Each structure stands twice: as structure tokens, then as C-alpha cells.
């Protein structure tokens, strides 16, 4: 005799088991290469499966973007009333975090993790709302597009030629208990776009000239697949310790005053630290010639911006005053039991090589005695420091 009980998918069942295993709020993220792949749709399907299994699920904030399939699936799901906020003479709506915490459902659906809240909201960013819900013991299912992840933001800008202003810190993605890639072939995605299933038909020509070019989508799809793969690697390292695996205790990133190469160093190091589940430190050794009174205020501001970026991505930032730059970096790495020092790749000109005490030669000599590796990160900048 066939059972009439509703069946639950493996993905939903895994998240359900996580919910029941702990009172701490859990986070599940559906990630995709672009708008229209079906992240919100998949999230709503899972919500219905959970409700069928007697889980208390509510909609915190869902944006249908006028998509009929998504709107139809949203019908019948219990939803929290949104909070009205007046801004520039208009009444706008945002998710009501306090009301959700007061009601305390088991699971809340929160679309568009990278969204910037309306000024006057409780938090500036929606990912901060999500953190607050999780800290209150509420489980969250959310969505994000690959272009909004902070550490690969510059890669996306190069691929698309479009500046992405809304970003989610990598630590939010890395803290997720489940990350699911919602994949779609490029052809199917473009067909959906041309049929008006993603944007209004009037916006389709513009979309085809921007994000929705085939070569761009292929690269974005590759980034999404790699991100989820790295998330699995992080989960394995975190949850299945192997005695035979080398442990990367800590990583040290050495910054210079070069703004652009510094940003790339920070983002690359962030991903390495996440992959190896390592402590991560960013150090800047300030020589006398780079003291505040001796450098351009613009360079000083850029340096502070890089410190801020590093802190946002999870690094501990240290500033050391010394004219012995290489020695200070290695001593700092030793004090933190670091196995790797990350630096910008020097411009190996003849004059640089002829210097008896160039930074790379000194670092190589000192680290070889301490069993510390050096990783050189190339820069796209023509002018390196």
C-alpha cells in the first residue's frame, strides 16, 4: 500500500535535521550566478515541504519582482507584516526584525541577503538583520547572487564591467550551515529572460547588453560553482578533522601603502583563511618615511580603507612601527604561529634585483629559517610599490 504522507526532499530534510539538532539558529543560503535562476522559487518550495512536516515557517521578506511563478508559490504561506518606513516623502517597506523575534517562528524566509535597508531601518544591511535573527535562535533560509560576495566583487566587475555596490561579507557566507547552488544552463536562463520570466519585456534588451551576455554568464556560473565547492571543503575541514592533514594555524598578510594591490591581497587572503579554517592577521609595518606627517593624506586614507576591509572580512589588523620591515613581518608571523605570509608580488626589475636588501630577498632568507611559506599575489596595477 502506498503511503499518503508528504515526502520531503533530501535538501529540506538535511536542513530540518540541523534545525532539530540545535537550539542555535541555523542559516541556509541559496546561491546563484544571476537573477532568474530560481533561488527564491527553490526557497519557497522548501518552505512548503517544511510546513508539510509540521515546521513553523513564516515569510520575513520575499521579493517576487513580478514573476508569476514565484508569486503563485508564495500564495498560502504565512507572512509577517512588513514595517513601514517614511523616507524622502514616501512610505516604503522593510522586514520587521523585532516582530519576527517576538513571534519566534522556527524558520523565517529572508530574500536578497545583500539588500541595503532603507535609511531609518534598525540595521543598515539585510545580512545584519539575518545575523540578529540567528542570534535570537531563529533559523533562516536566504538567497544571494554570486556577484554580491565581497571577496570576489572585483572579479565580477572585471567580468561584467558593472560596479556592484551591495555586498555581503564572506564571513556571512562561510558561517552558513548549508549553501546550495541553484544552477541553470546559460541557454535556459537566456530563454527565461527573453520570455519575460525574469524582467519586464521592456528591460530585456538592456539586460542582454549587460549581465546577460553569454560569456559573462559562463564566468559567473563558474564562480558560483567554485564558491559552493569551497564551502564544501570548508565544511569538511571544520567537521572532519584528519590527523594526516597539514594544519594551517594562521595566515599573515603583509600590506603596503599600495591601495589596489592591498585590496587584492586582502580578498585573496580572506579566501585562503576560510579554506583552511585558519586564523588570519593583516600587518602593516610603518617605516619612518611612511609616518603620517610624511605621506600623502590620500594614501593614508586608502590605507585606512584597506584596514577596514580586512577587519570586515574577518582579519585581526596590526600596525607596527619599524624600519626593519622584513624582520618585523617574520617576527610577527612567528608570534602568531603562522605557516604562510601573503605579500604582493614585487616588480622584479633589474634595479630591484640588484638591491642587496630588497624586501623579497630578506623575507625569503628569514622565512626559510622559520619554516614559513611565502605566497606572492600578482597585481593588475602597472605601478607597484
Read off the CATH number of the domain in which 307 is found.
3.40.50.620
Mean predicted confidence (pLDDT) in 225-253? 69
74 shares its domain with 32: yes
Does the pLDDT of residue 5 top 50, yes or no?
no
Decide which of 217, 239, 261 is a domain's last residue: 239
Does the pLDDT of residue 11 top 80, yes or no?
no
231 shares its domain with 254: no
Judge if pTM exceeds 0.85.
no
Query: What pLDDT score was predicted for residue 249?
Result: 76
Specify which of 40-44, 174-178, 206-210, 272-276 reaches the highest per-range mean pLDDT: 40-44
265 shares its domain with 366: yes
Query: What pLDDT score was predicted for residue 190?
Result: 95
- Confidence band for 367, pLDDT divided at 50, 70 and 90: confident
Query: What pLDDT score was predicted for residue 298?
Result: 84
Does the pLDDT of residue 126 top 90, yes or no?
yes
226 shares its domain with 301: no
Number of domains in the chain: 2
In a domain, residue 3? The reply is no
Decide which of 180, 210, 239 is a domain's last residue: 239
Mean predicted confidence (pLDDT) in 82-103? 92
Does the pLDDT of residue 38 top 50, yes or no?
yes
Decide which of 239, 259, 292 is a domain's last residue: 239
The residue among 345 and 122 whose pLDDT is bigger is 122
198 shares its domain with 257: no
Does the pLDDT of residue 332 top 70, yes or no?
yes
Query: What pLDDT score was predicted for residue 381?
Result: 44
The chain-wide mean pLDDT, for the chain, equals 85
Does the pLDDT of residue 247 top 60, yes or no?
no
190 shares its domain with 83: yes
Mean predicted confidence (pLDDT) in 279-287? 91
**Residues above pLDDT 70, as percent of the chain:** 87
Does the pLDDT of residue 347 top 70, yes or no?
no
Query: What pLDDT score was predicted for residue 296?
Result: 79
Query: What pLDDT score was predicted for residue 370?
Result: 83
The residue among 29 and 353 whose pLDDT is bigger is 29
327 shares its domain with 284: yes
- Domain span at 339: 250-377
User: For residues 232 and 227, what is the distance between their CA atoms, to the nearest angstrom?
Assistant: 9
- Confidence band for 330, pLDDT divided at 50, 70 and 90: very high
- Confidence band for 22, pLDDT divided at 50, 70 and 90: low
Query: What pLDDT score was predicted for residue 379?
Result: 64
322 shares its domain with 222: no
* pLDDT tens by residue, 293-303: 777 788 888 88
Query: What pLDDT score was predicted for residue 104?
Result: 95
Query: What pLDDT score was predicted for residue 245?
Result: 45
* pLDDT tens by residue, 160-187: 998 889 999 999 998 898 999 999 899 9
- Confidence band for 144, pLDDT divided at 50, 70 and 90: very high
Amino acid at each position: 500500500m502506498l503511503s499518503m504522507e508528504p515526502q520531503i526532499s533530501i535538501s529540506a530534510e538535511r536542513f530540518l535535521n540541523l534545525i532539530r539538532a540545535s537550539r542555535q539558529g541555523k542559516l541556509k543560503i541559496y546561491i546563484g550566478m544571476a537573477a532568474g535562476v530560481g533561488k527564491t522559487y527553490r526557497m519557497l518550495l522548501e518552505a512548503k515541504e517544511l510546513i508539510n512536516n509540521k515546521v513553523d515557517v513564516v515569510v520575513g521578506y520575499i521579493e517576487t519582482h513580478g514573476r508569476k511563478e514565484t508569486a503563485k508559490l508564495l500564495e498560502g504561506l504565512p507572512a509577517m507584516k512588513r514595517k513601514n518606513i517614511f523616507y524622502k516623502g514616501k512610505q516604503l517597506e522593510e522586514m520587521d526584525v523585532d516582530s519576527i523575534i517576538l513571534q519566534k517562528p522556527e524558520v523565517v524566509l529572508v530574500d536578497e541577503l545583500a539588500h541595503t535597508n532603507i535609511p531609518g531601518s534598525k540595521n543598515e544591511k539585510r545580512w545584519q538583520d539575518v545575523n540578529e535573527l540567528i542570534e535570537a535562535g531563529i533559523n533562516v533560509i536566504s538567497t544571494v547572487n554570486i556577484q554580491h560576495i565581497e571577496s570576489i566583487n572585483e572579479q565580477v566587475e572585471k567580468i561584467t564591467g558593472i560596479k556592484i555596490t551591495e555586498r555581503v561579507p564572506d564571513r556571512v557566507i562561510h558561517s552558513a550551515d548549508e549553501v546550495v547552488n541553484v544552477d541553470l544552463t546559460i541557454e535556459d536562463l537566456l530563454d527565461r529572460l527573453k520570455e519575460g520570466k525574469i524582467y519586464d519585456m521592456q528591460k530585456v534588451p538592456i539586460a542582454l547588453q549587460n549581465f546577460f551576455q553569454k560569456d559573462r554568464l559562463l564566468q559567473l556560473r563558474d564562480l558560483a560553482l567554485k564558491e559552493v565547492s569551497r564551502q564544501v571543503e570548508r565544511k569538511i575541514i571544520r567537521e572532519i578533522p584528519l590527523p594526516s592533514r597539514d594544519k594551517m594555524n594562521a595566515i599573515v598578510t603583509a600590506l603596503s601603502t599600495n591601495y589596489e594591490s592591498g585590496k587584492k591581497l586582502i580578498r585573496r587572503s580572506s579566501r585562503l583563511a576560510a579554506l583552511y579554517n585558519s586564523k588570519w592577521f593583516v600587518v602593516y609595518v610603518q617605516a619612518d618615511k611612511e609616518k603620517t606627517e610624511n605621506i600623502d593624506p590620500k594614501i593614508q586614507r586608502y590605507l585606512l580603507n584597506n584596514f577596514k576591509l580586512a577587519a570586515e572580512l574577518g582579519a585581526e589588523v596590526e600596525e607596527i612601527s619599524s624600519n626593519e620591515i622584513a624582520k618585523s613581518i617574520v617576527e610577527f608571523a612567528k608570534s602568531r604561529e603562522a605557516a604562510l605570509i601573503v605579500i604582493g608580488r614585487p616588480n622584479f626589475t633589474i634595479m630591484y634585483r640588484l638591491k642587496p636588501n630588497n624586501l623579497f630577498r630578506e623575507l625569503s632568507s628569514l622565512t626559510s629559517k622559520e619554516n614559513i611559506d611565502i605566497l606572492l599575489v600578482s597585481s593588475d596595477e602597472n605601478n607597484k610599490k
